[in-house]
Amino acid sequence: MATSTVEADTRAHIVAVADELFYARGIQSVGMDEIRTGAGVSLKKLYAAFPGKEQLVAAVLTGRHEYWEHGIEQAVAAAGTPRDRLLAMYDSL
């Protein structure tokens, strides 16, 4: 397995753990050490992937944005008429 794939997988795992913790308790209530523990990575690896909490929060928000956009795009693409596409967007939300 290529190093970049491992790094991408590790980053994705850290983001998923952070997303879960942020959603459950709030961004301000969750520290980097708790994210490190939850993700099962070393502090060095966490800070290599995300130099600061701000970068990690941005990655979490980007992931949520992509998730919602993808869901709306799928719902709209499955609808037949322009009216149904418009309604599908709102139904998806």
User: Which domain, by its residues, includes 59?
Assistant: 3-92
Domain count, the chain: 1
Q: What is the pLDDT of residues 40-50, one digit of tens each?
A: 999 999 999 99
What's the pLDDT band for 90 if we cut at 50, 70, 90? confident
Name the residue with higher pLDDT: 68 or 4.
68
Place of tokens 């992509």: 66
CATH number at residue 13: 1.10.357.10
Q: What is the pLDDT of residues 15-62, one digit of tens each?
A: 999 999 999 999 999 999 999 999 999 999 999 999 999 999 999 999
Helix boundaries (H) for the chain: 3-25, 32-39, 43-49, 53-78, 82-92
Name the residue with higher pLDDT: 2 or 78.
78
C-alpha–C-alpha distance, residues 44 and 36, integer Å = 9
